[in-house]
Amino acid sequence: MPHLREHAPGTFCWAELETTDLGAAKSFYHALFGWSIVDQPMGPGGVYTIFRLNLEDAAAAYQQQEGERARGVRSHWNLYISVKDAGATAVRAVELGAKLLAGPLDAGENGRLAILLDPTGATFYLWQGLKTSGLGVMNEINTFWWADLHTADRGGAKRFYEALLGWSIKPGPGKDESTYLHINAGGKFIGGILPDSHRTTKAPPHWMPYFKVADLDAAVKQAAELGAQVFMPPMNVGGPLRIAMLRDPQLAAFALFEG
């Protein structure tokens, strides 16, 4: 059984894929990251897939409902942020200009969640862990490590998340506010806000997960052979850090990095 990993409030704690083809997505990510697959019952005839690496929860996935697909919602990754009180945090988020999409609601004995749209249009999830704190493995090869916010309103996003979660969002040393903004949660860097030069302007605002790989070029080549689209090929973004941005075969955006 996976062990319980603690996630500090204000940090990303769960990565979940909503996909138009769960079977194909399971095959893709199993081949790319070596994740094993555990299906758990969810609703009438549905399953909630847990992706595991070395017996630890590494991510999750579920089949998108037909109603979502009919409205033109594409496959995408949902990112959860750990909070002490999902209800109170959701109320505060709405006060700060967010829109409550669902919840707060109980997820069985595992915890409570709320789904919100931030003032810039990006969806994010709040998670109050009870029996399940979140991912059992991260910050390792073939696991979730980082998240970037893609939004045209970087200033609005900065003000919102700093006020809601206590994040410190600043450019790197010697840089100005037009460059990449680093997100610091309780002394730990957990993500950032992309500058316009690195943002896909046609895409709606969204959070994108990054997964660490041992060999970026090899991983991108393999992903493409498995049917992924590479919309930003491997590039150096400072020091030894190299990244690439892709869409899986069902068009869910994600990023890979090495370094």
Q: Which residues of the chain have pLDDT under 70?
A: 1-5, 68-70, 72
pLDDT at 2: 43
Distance between CA 194 and CA 178 in Å, rounded?
9
Q: What does pTM read for this prediction?
A: 0.92
Q: pLDDT digit string (tens) for 193-252?
A: 998 877 777 778 999 999 999 999 999 999 999 999 998 999 888 778 899 999 999 999
Please give the pLDDT value at position 203: 78
What domains can be seen in the chain, in order of their start residue? 12-129 (3.10.180.10), 144-258 (3.10.180.10)
Instruction: Say what the pLDDT of residue 74 is.
Output: 84
Q: Which of 248, 254, 25 is nearest to 143 (CA)?
A: 254
Tokens of 145: 């490590």
Query: Rounded to an integer, what distance in angstroms lies between the CA atom of residue 249 and that of residue 23?
Result: 11
The C-alpha atoms of residue 138 and residue 58 are separated, in whole angstroms, by 7
